[in-house]
């Protein structure tokens, strides 16, 4: 396969930078175009970008000239890390021009004709792209905390039927972008509010885990109550779950279902797909962001402390890398799935 030219929208931001690092040396994709705000237009990427990644800017990207969303693009596939304040109309414009956009922004996630996809769980939802009024199409990946919640709930819902969920998140500061949370607000502290996060966790999993038929996604029937906090951790969102099932499982049954789970991404052999989407830890003090965020290159959901709950049925701790599997890595995986399933012709 010839490498497919792609563009990164919002390329100078936190998620955009993560796209650049994850796409370096990708076997299917090559970054041909970088797009950012008018402040960066006409500059070399290395001059426009306040680079905050632990590896250097890839040499082939550093001297690329930054474009704006007003300019035409040549790449058929666009990865969007645009801020939600500008993402909606920009993504629609490019879709009208015939591009396929994989968006990390919230703007189109809940649109009836836009799939909200985790390839291991609901790759069949890609088919709803045909209902969109564009020459190309828009696909979204979920909120970063929703990603790990849905990855865990998906196989459990299929096996036992999930009816109610209580989830509390401890979200890393990298999820707030750069410069993010002021140091005097977060160091030695917990901020028990993240605007819009709780609402996303309470509605997005129903769409992801819903059924697709005849051009319509019917949301899964489960109640979710979420509470979200920002904590002084750099990368890795941790979540505590209590789950009520229609058919109550034992902790051992839950662990087996999660440990054995694979999905369409693994079946298709996608380059970014982890061999195990869910890693189940037996140690009583795991998962931990410091130890586990980068398992399988940051593309897994880690699960631990699975045990009975005295209020609902089962409780556990889950964790994942918020800017990789929760953002840029998830979008790249969706792009790979679109190519492999023939939605993007190469």
pLDDT (average), residues 113-135: 97
The total number of structural domains that make up the chain: 2
Answer yes or no: do 150 and 233 share one domain: yes
Residues 32 and 135 both lie in one domain = yes
- Is residue 346 included in any domain, yes or no? no
Clarify whether residues 92 and 190 are in a common domain.
no
Domain extent, residue 85, equals 4-143+328-340
The CATH number of the domain holding residue 162 is 3.30.360.10
Q: Is 289 in the same domain as 150?
A: yes
| Tens digits of residue pLDDT in 238-264 | 999 999 999 999 999 999 999 999 999
Q: Looking at 144, 157, 228, 281, which residue is catalytic?
A: 144
Residues 112 and 50 in one domain: yes
Same domain, 236 and 260: yes
Shortest CA distance to 137 belongs to which of 126, 123, 146, 150? Answer: 126
135 and 151 both lie in a single domain: no
The reply to whether 245 and 297 lie within a common domain is yes
Q: What is the pLDDT of residues 281-340, one digit of tens each?
A: 999 999 999 999 999 999 999 999 999 999 999 999 999 999 999 999 999 999 999 999
Is residue 309 annotated as a catalytic residue, yes or no?
Answer: no
- Looking at the structure, tell me whether residues 207 and 334 fall in a common domain: no
Respond yes or no: is residue 237 known to be catalytic.
yes
With a cut of 90, say whether residue 344 has pLDDT above it. no
Is 345 part of any domain? no
176-189 pLDDT tens trace: 999 999 999 999 99
Q: Which two tokens stand for residue 180?
A: 């993010």
Angle at 44 between CA 40 and CA 47, to 5 degrees: 70
CA 259 to chain centre: 21
Rounded Cα distance between 313 and 297, Å, is 32
- Stated pTM of the model: 0.96
Of 99, 237, 281, 321, the catalytic one is: 237
Q: Which residues of 183-203 are buried (b: 16+ CB within 10 A; e: fewer)?
A: eeebeeeebeebeebbebbbb
């Amino acid at each position: 396969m010839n490498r497919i030219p792609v563009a990164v929208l919002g390329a100078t931001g936190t998620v955009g930078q993560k796209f650049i690092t994850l796409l370096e040396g990708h076997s299917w994709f090559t970054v041909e175009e970088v797009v950012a705000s008018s402040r960066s237009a006409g500059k070399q990427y290395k001059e426009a970008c306040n680079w905050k990644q632990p590896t250097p800017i890839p040499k082939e990207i550093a001297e690329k000239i930054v474009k704006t969303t007003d300019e035409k693009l040549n790449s058929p596939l666009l990865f969007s890390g645009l801020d939600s304040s500008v993402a909606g109309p920009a993504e629609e414009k490019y879709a009208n021009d015939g591009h396929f956009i994989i968006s990390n922004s919230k703007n189109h996630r809940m649109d009836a004709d836009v799939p909200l996809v985790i390839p291991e769980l609901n790759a069949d939802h890609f088919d709803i792209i045909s209902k969109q009024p564009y020459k190309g199409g828009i696909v979204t990946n979920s909120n970063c905390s929703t990603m790990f919640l849905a990855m865990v709930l998906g196989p459990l819902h299929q096996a036992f039927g999930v009816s109610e969920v209580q989830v509390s998140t401890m979200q890393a500061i990298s999820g707030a972008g750069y410069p993010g949370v002021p140091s005097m607000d977060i160091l030695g502290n917990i901020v028990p509010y993240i605007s819009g996060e709780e609402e996303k966790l309470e509605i997005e999993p129903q769409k992801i885990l819903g059924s697709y038929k005849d051009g319509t996604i019917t949301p899964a029937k489960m109640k979710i109550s979420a509470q979200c906090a920002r904590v002084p951790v750099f990368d890795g969102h941790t979540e505590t779950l209590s789950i009520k099932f229609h058919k109550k499982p034992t902790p051992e049954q839950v662990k087996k279902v999660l440990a054995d789970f694979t999905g369409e991404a693994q079946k298709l052999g996608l380059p970014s797909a982890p061999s195990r989407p869910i890693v189940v830890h037996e140690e009583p003090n795991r998962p931990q962001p410091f130890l586990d965020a980068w398992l399988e290159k940051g593309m897994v959901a880690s699960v631990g402390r699975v045990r009975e709950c005295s209020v609902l049925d089962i409780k556990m701790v889950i964790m994942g890398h918020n800017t990789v599997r929760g953002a840029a890595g998830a979008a790249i995986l969706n792009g790979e799935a679109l190519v492999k399933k023939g939605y993007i012709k190469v």
